[in-house]
Amino acid sequence: MHQFSYLKAKSLADAAALAKANPEAKLMSGGMTLLPTLKQGLAQPSHLIDIGGLKELSGIEVKGDVLSIGAVTRHYDVASSAAVAKAIPALSYLANQIGDPQVRNRGTIGGSVANNDPAADYPSAVLALNATIVTDRREIAADDFFQGMFATALEEGEIVVRIVFPLPKRAAYEKFPHPASGYAMAGVFIAETAAGVRVAVTGAGPGVFRWSDAEKALAGGLKAGALDALTVDATDLNEDFHATREYRANLVQVMGKRALQKLLA
């Protein structure tokens, strides 16, 4: 790991000011991706601005028909929250499938969403649930937020404050974890929302994406077996030595089918 200066932000405003003053700085929430990246020498920030402890960025709240989760809320806190379990049980389940217990005790929802790893779990929920990403500058719809591999709508120094999830009627997530890393080789999140049925896929492609064929197949109502006949076009999916794009396409179909079964159970 190269040298850097550690800065502990005292407030959101302080964090923003520090980020502005240090253009080569990186924001750190849980550090579960950032620190391994630094250890591998893959990034050399001048400063780390630690926002992990900021109270104004943490907490879980259900108000009316939305669930709001502060950006630095840890995966464990989401997974074990009674409020989340009641409001969106699929989100509790998803949070409990991320990484491993030690990672869940440190990693945060805001960090995961801002990093937008193409195999991370949270982006699928954020996208399928039609959530809004609230930053220190504006509100961004999930459909606009995720822009491909590690790319988001966030501007330089913009900080995710919280994620606001409209409560769905029903939702379910199924994931096929990579046997070594635990990241999703394919994860499918199906949500029946006020805006219709939305299906988001993570892990299989270069970034989280909506699976429009599945959404069309489910538009008339969530019926058992509705996804059984679908095939997934493998052309734009990931391929590496672990698995071919055809295998990943198959996983999307199978995980989608299983998510639907779970949702209907």
Partner 1 sequence: MAKIQLTVNGASHTREVEDRTLLVDLLRDHLGLTGTHIGCDTSQCGCCTVHVDGRAVKSCTMLAAQVNGATVVTIEGMASGDKLHPVQQAFTDCHALQCGFCTPGMIMATAALLKDNPQPTDEEIYHGLEGNLCRCTGYINIVKAVKQAAQTLK
Partner 2 sequence: MSEKHAANRREDLRLITGRGRYSSDMNLPGQLHAAFLRSDHAHAEIVSIDTASALKRPGAVAVLTGDDALAAGYKHFPNLLTFTNKAGASLIKPQRPVLAHGRVRFVGETVAMVVAHSAAEARDALDAIEVEYRDLPVVVDAEEALQPGAPQLHANVPGNLNFEWDTGDAAAVEQAFKQAAHVTRLKVVSPRVIPNPMEPRAAVIGYDAAEDAYDIYTNSQGIVMLRWQFAALTGVAEDKLRFHLHDVGGSFGQRSAVYPEHGALMIAAKKLGRPVKWVSSRSEGFLSDSHGRGIVMAGELAIDKDGKFLAAKYQFVCDMGAYLTPTGTASHVRNPAICTTGVYKIPALYANFRVVMTNTAPVAAYRGAGRPDIAYVIERLVDQAAHELKIDRAELRRRNFIPLDAFPYKTPTMGVYEASDFNGCLTMALKAADYDGFPARRAAAAKRGKLRGIGLSTTIEGTAAGMFPKDQIAIEFNAEGQLEVFTVALSQGQGHETTFAQIVADTLGIDATDVTLRESVQGKKLEGNHTGGSRSLVGAGSICKVAAQKLIEQARPLAAEALELEPSQVEYAKGLFTSRDGSKSIGLLDLAKKHAGANPHPLNLMAEGSVAATFPNGCHIAEVEIDPETGVSKIAAYTACDDCGTVINHAIVEGQIHGGVAMGAGQVFGEQVMYDKASGQLLSGSFSDYAMPRAGWVGGINMNDHPVISKINVLGAKGVGESGCTASLSSLVTAALDALRPLGIHHVDMPLTPPRVWQQIQRAKQLQQTKAK
What does 250 interact with, of partner 2, partner 1, none (CB < 5 to 8 A by kind)?
A: partner 2
| Residue placing its CB nearer to partner 2 in the complex, 74 or 175 | 175
Q: Please report whether residue 241 would count as binding partner 1 according to CB under 8 A.
A: no
CA atoms within 13 A on the CB side of 189: 32
Contact 181, 245 (CB under 8 A): no
**Contacts with 135 (C-beta within 8 Å, 6 or more apart), sequence order:** 154, 158, 159, 160, 161
Q: Choose, by CB under 8 A, the member of 65, 86, 101, 151 that binds partner 1.
A: 101
The secondary element (H helix, E strand) that includes residue 113 is helix 109-115
Count of residues that interact with partner 1, criterion CB under 8 A: 29
Alpha-carbon distances, residue 43 vs 147, 151, 250 (angstroms): 21, 16, 34
CA distance 111 to 51: 10
Burial of 121 (0-12, 13-18, 19+ CB in 10 A): buried
Give the binding site for partner 2 (CB under 8 A). Answer: 1-3, 40, 176, 179-181, 240-244, 246-247, 250-251, 254
Q: Please report whether residue 235 would count as binding partner 1 according to CB under 8 A.
A: no
Ramachandran class of 97: left when φ > 0, alpha when ψ lies in -120 to 50, beta otherwise: alpha
What does 114 interact with, of partner 1, partner 2, none (CB < 5 to 8 A by kind)?
A: none
| Residue placing its CB nearer to partner 2 in the complex, 23 or 36 | 36
Min dist. Cβ of residue 3 to partner 1 (A)? 6
Min dist. Cβ of residue 26 to partner 2 (A)? 19
Interface positions with partner 1 (CB under 8 A): 1-6, 8, 31-32, 35-36, 38-40, 48, 50, 52, 76, 80, 99-103, 105-106, 180-182
